[in-house]
A = this chain, B = another copy of it.
Amino acid sequence: MKLGTKGRYAVMSMVDIACHDDKEAVSLNDIATRTEISLPYLEQLFMKLRKSGLVTSVRGPGGGYKLARPSNNIRISDILLAVDVQIHTTRCEPNSAMGCRINHGRCLTHDLWDAMGRQMALFLNSVTLEDVVQGRLIEKSMHHVKKEEQENILKVVS
């Protein structure tokens, strides 16, 4: 289970723009240089970000992209959705052949993956671009984790 470059790059680029003055547009070339993401790939991503209404574009020399809304009004989940990064935890579509046969047709594990997906979605909904830029993440994450758990978490999350 891993987060690919698409979602990661999209958020990185949006953070990059959010770090700049709202007045002037940021060109993909600049972002490409700073983040070391290839220009054509960025173009692909920003096509989607624009169509989802998260950024506005300015063409021609001196052009680039600006945030369409204040950074405290753009959630990380908005960005991920824009570039088609979704969280797929289950395969239990209605009437599907796969996965839902244990215990007389009821799928016990469905609820598990569903709960996990919701957990993640809640988190991604709760964090805004502004939060990331200002380093306000430890608060959103939880503090007091037991020593013994710490170790295991590192293994799981890698």
Name A's B-contacting residues (CB within 8 A). Answer: 1-5, 7-8, 11-12, 15-16, 19, 34-36, 76-77, 80-81, 85-91, 97-99, 101-103, 108-109, 111-125, 127, 132-133, 135, 137-138, 140-142, 145, 149, 152-153, 155-158
Given A12-B109, A109-B12, A132-B109, check contact A1 B156 (CB 8 Å).
Answer: no
Partner of A1, one of B2, B108, B122, B142: B2
Number of identical monomers bound together in the oligomeric complex: 2
Contact A88 B120 (CB under 8 A): no
Interface of A is mostly: helix
Given A86-B1, A115-B140, A125-B156, check contact A102 B35 (CB 8 Å).
Answer: yes
Contact A152 B77 (CB under 8 A): yes
For the complex formed, measure the closest distance between the CB of A12 and the CB atoms of chain B, giving whole angstroms: 5
For the complex formed, measure the closest distance between the CB of A118 and the CB atoms of chain B, giving whole angstroms: 6
CB neighbours (8 Å) of A81 from chain B are: 155-156
Partner of A113, one of B3, B86, B90, B121: B3
Contact B7 A1 (CB under 8 A): yes
A108 to B16, CA, bound (A): 9
Contact B11 A112 (CB under 8 A): yes
CB neighbours (8 Å) of A132 from chain B are: 108-109, 111-112
CB nearest neighbor in B for A106: B135
CB neighbours (8 Å) of A158 from chain B are: 86-88
Given A89-B157, A109-B132, check contact A120 B116 (CB 8 Å).
Answer: yes
For the complex formed, measure the closest distance between the CB of A5 and the CB atoms of chain B, giving whole angstroms: 8
